[in-house]
Amino acid sequence: MSIAVIDGGTRPNGNTEILTNHVIQGINAERIYLRNYQIQPIIDMRHSPEGFQDRNDDYNSIIDRILSHDTLIFSTPIYWYSMSGIMKNFIDRWSQTLRDPNYPDFKKKMAAKKAYVIAVGGDNPSIKGLPMIQQFQYIFDFIGIEFAGYIIGNGNKPEEINQDIEALFKAEQLQKKL
């Protein structure tokens, strides 16, 4: 199994990153910190004669890296009850790749993968994070990826996730599966 972690956190060693570390410790996984790259928001050009334009950013290089893996872990802090804006911009751009002649097999390749979601929030995430999980389900259904599981952790202050023993247990269980 070959694993890429797509990390939507905005600060190093945030709670979500810590929880993700519990999952992949001792496992070979490619870490992609979206915060270290330029990813432009999508501009919807589906209906323009000229079509989507190259945004001259790092987005395609990240797509290239994830396509070679068979397991994707979407690791995001819960900001305002959903994934971080930088992760949302990354996913929004899939609409472009789906129409990009340079990626004729994008959907097919994505559909061969498994995905996990790891998310940490500070405001009752086991309830208020649920709409985000439903959205990931819709996202994965659309692109054809199997949604193989998720962990929602609770944490606000630095390293507080280490108090959430249920999330840590789930991380341990997921690690065994990977």
- Residues of the shown chain interacting with its own copies in the complex, contacts defined by CB under 8 A: 9-11, 14, 35, 41-45, 47-48, 77, 79-86, 88-92, 94-95, 123, 126-128, 130-135, 137-139, 142, 147, 149-150, 157-158, 165-166, 169-170, 173
Q: Could you report how far apart the first and last alpha carbons of the chain are, in Å?
A: 7
Comparing CB distances to its own copies, the nearer of 71 and 82 is 82
CB 95 → its own copies: shortest distance, Å? 7
Tokens of 14: 């945030």
CB 170 → its own copies: shortest distance, Å? 6
CB 147 → its own copies: shortest distance, Å? 7
CB 19 → its own copies: shortest distance, Å? 15
CB 7 → its own copies: shortest distance, Å? 13
Comparing CB distances to its own copies, the nearer of 3 and 17 is 17
- In our burial notation (b when 16+ CB lie closer than 10 A, e otherwise), range 90-113 reads bbbbbebbeebeebeebbebbeeb
User: In degrees to the nearest 10, what's the CA dihedral of 133, 138, 144, 148?
Assistant: 20
Nearest 5°: the CA angle 131, 121, 160 is 160
Comparing CB distances to its own copies, the nearer of 28 and 173 is 173
Q: Concatenated DSSP letters for 27-72?
A: S-EEEEEGGGS--PPP---TTSTT------SSHHHHHHHHHT-SEE
Q: Do the beta carbons of residue 152 and residue 122 sit within 8 Å?
A: no
Comparing CB distances to its own copies, the nearer of 2 and 138 is 138
Q: Do the beta carbons of residue 165 and residue 131 sit within 8 Å?
A: no
Comparing CB distances to its own copies, the nearer of 41 and 144 is 41
